[in-house]
Amino acid sequence: AQKITQTQPGMFVQEKEAVTLDCTYDTSDPSYGLFWYKQPSSGEMIFLIYQGSYDQQNATEGRYSLNFQKARKSANLVISASQLGDSAMYFCAMREDNYGQNFVFGPGTRLSVLP
């Protein structure tokens, strides 16, 4: 079964608008971490933001915020004030703390920012 689901293969957003990229996860581990990465066309993977399962507040990093809804097992990435340079693939990932230390990734969402 898929542990990370990203239901949006592709998204478009107008420059300067906000966009939400969806991520749902499946785990029975009470302790886990959720991560978002950006992969531009150059291929490098860039870490964006982290949310721990016990964190009370939603994580924020500059224009990135994570809308963490634990009961719904969702960890959506919100990008505010989109820029052309935000066009990339975005991956959601999870690390389960009691079931090994590997990182499981979703299939990704391709975001295109329109001028």
* Residue 35 touching another protein (CB under 8 A): yes
- Running DSSP on this structure, what letter comes out for residue 57? S
Question: Closest Cα partner for 36 from 76, 85, 88, 86?
Answer: 76
Who's near 82: CB < 8 A, 6+ residues apart? 13, 14, 15, 16, 17, 18, 19, 113
Instruction: State the Cα–Cα distance between residues 2 and 78, nearest whole angstrom.
Output: 22
Q: How far is the CB of 6 from another protein (least distance, A)?
A: 8
CB of 33 closer than 8 Å to CB of 95: yes
Nearest approach, Cβ of residue 39 and another protein (Å): 9
Per CB under 8 A, the list member of 4, 21, 111, 113 interacting with another protein is 4
| Site membership for another protein, residue 101 (CB under 8 A) | yes
Span near another protein by CB under 8 A; candidates 14-22, 67-75, 78-86, 91-99? 91-99
Residue ranges binding another protein (CB under 8 A): 4, 6, 9, 31, 33, 35, 43-45, 47, 50, 52, 91, 93, 95, 97, 100-108
